[in-house]
Structure 1
Amino acid sequence: METRAPFIIVGAFVLAAIAAVFGFVFWLHNTSGLGARTTYHVQFNGSVPGLLVGAAVLFNGIRVGEVTELGLAPDNPRQVNATIGVDAATPVRADTKVGLDFQGLTGVPVIALEGGTQLAAAGTVPTLVADPGAGQSMTQAARDALRKVDTVLTENAEPLKATIADIRTFAETLARNSSKIDGIMQGVERMTGADKPVVNKVVYDLRAASGFAPPAKPIKGQLAIGEPSFVVMFDTQKILLAPGLDYPAFAGFQWSDSIPKLIQAKLIQSFENYDITHAPQRASDAVQADHQLLIDIRSFEITGSPELAAEVAFSAKIVGKDGKLLAAKLFRASAPVGKPEPLAALAGFNQAFGSVAKELVLWTAAIL
């Protein structure tokens, strides 16, 4: 007995030391260290599922303490009272918000503190009141939401049935009149042009008059040519067809600019081809013009009587600086279009425009 006694004492001492170490580590983990602690009472007006003594207390997401006591309020069965111990340096205020948070996949409950500005009275242990529903878990929240949805559906069962019946009636009506609806949609497509295939546009440019003989008489003074006047139908880049003509081949035909601006530009180029030294300017560009050439478009289209032809016609007026009319004349020319194709139409317009443009240039030079 005397030989074995020391081993028993040593073994007991080792076990006690190990238990003390584990206990100390556990105490440090649950009390967050050896620093000074401040105690607060927390009041929950509802259940706190899973909250235990020793649960963590977080302030703005940082662990600052733990739950030290937990119990039911004797005078209110719906109320749960908890006591928490937190680090003394934690800025807990009387209006600090209190809630119950669930961490991790298993949803371990912790008390979460957040914010606050009001200081508690000296010497008192403030009671922090948790937000209503703070102890509600995600599962409970889902149950409550489903319960509310079920209540709404129950209260509105008859209106819902009526609505579903109306939808069924509407669907049956659509099914019975599907052919009529198809006809309506086809009519809308025809009206908006959505049923027509997309046509790739090809841009064509008009050729200015050229081939003038050396000018025997230069144009005197500064001449300005403004944008021609026109009716709305000429404000387009499409090729214009006389009433009654319809050639799908012209669907992709497009002038390089609107017809009035195109005629203005090509008339200026025609004058430049006649005498570049005394060429006119655009009316908007001329600082002070001695004369203005005013153009009014009469025709710029494909006609079909008696045969396809490109027709160009406009009136011209020469006005002095004082606004006095010096001369006026109507110019018209047409050229045959061999077949209803864009290139043939372009050749006809070039020939007709070249004829009237050359006549206009020579007439203007003779007047001025």
Structure 2
Amino acid sequence: MKIKLILVIILLSLLACQKIDKTNLNVKKFYPYTLKLNKNSSLWYDRNHDFLYEVSQNGDGLNINFQFYELKKDTITVNTKKIELPPFYKDIFTQKNDFIILHTEPRTLGKNLKSTDILTKYDENSRILLKKDMDISKYPNGNCFIVGNNERLFYISDWFAAANSKRAAESKLIISEIDTSFNILNQKLFKNKNRDFDYNPAKCIFIENIGIVIVSDMSYFEIKGLPFKIEMFDLDLNKKWSENFEANSIVSLGYSKTEKKISLVIEKEGTKVNFWDYEGKKQEKQYHFNSDLISLTSSDDNIFLLTKNQEKNDITKIDFSGKVIDKINLPKNIEINKKKEINLAYQENQLFLISIDNDKKLLEIDKITME
């Protein structure tokens, strides 16, 4: 009888701890989930790709554990990739069992002063398969992206030439389709004809069988009325349409397969949500929130925005048809401070609230009921 009692106590202790391993976790009333971080670790959330990654201090260097969290109704699955993250890391892309890291390598010494983008491919065991310099001159802090699917891969970057005595500064947007060895199959360059703006890609999405949508900051380092441009290209890299607009910053770029619409969330005198169809026709109805935006995520049908209005937090659901706008109740009041990162995530047809407090070394994940 004592042995059975001891086993029951041990089992209850294990369920209370809820420690993550690499297997599916099936625990009754699993959420809210809490994880205490190692004192030498910090967690960060990548909103563009919906994954958490852990940064661990190891001596004088940093070890990066990419934690791909798959959140389900009653389980969490974690796939960990341990790699040495290079400086000026820009983007990560998974393709079948491999994953690709894109970073910019600055060069400030020697005859070759240009900084260029580097693509590195890793296998499922985090071993380097291929590393290639894409040989495109740019600033280290310029944005660049890798988008596509298992069949087609695209590399998007800017190109910059500094002003000298003979010519003014010049910039270009470069879109390249590349093969699995990072060889360029097709490439198009788009430049500022009148040199009245500079390209700096801010957000990029790939729409399968349709094309690529890029939002660029057209001011680069100078303020010129906060100009931005949204452009759509087909898979042969021909421009289909574009539109200029003003914004303080770009929050999110997404799309709906069902509605065949593109969504853009910007900050300008509050939070604005705009929609375009694939042909570039802008939806007349726009959503404008005066409350502060904390986080957002989206499914194929809806955009979810977590906002703060005075002391109240709300999640607003907007469908891509533009006909419905609803409020969703939060599972608890959210404590918001500068040291705490709050994120919404939509995975496996379920909405989650992810809270990361690197000061207290604490991760919390709540499931949000959408009925």
TM over 0.5: no
The TM-score, its normalising length taken from structure 1, stands at: 0.22
More strand by share: 2
Larger Rg: 1
More helix by share: 1
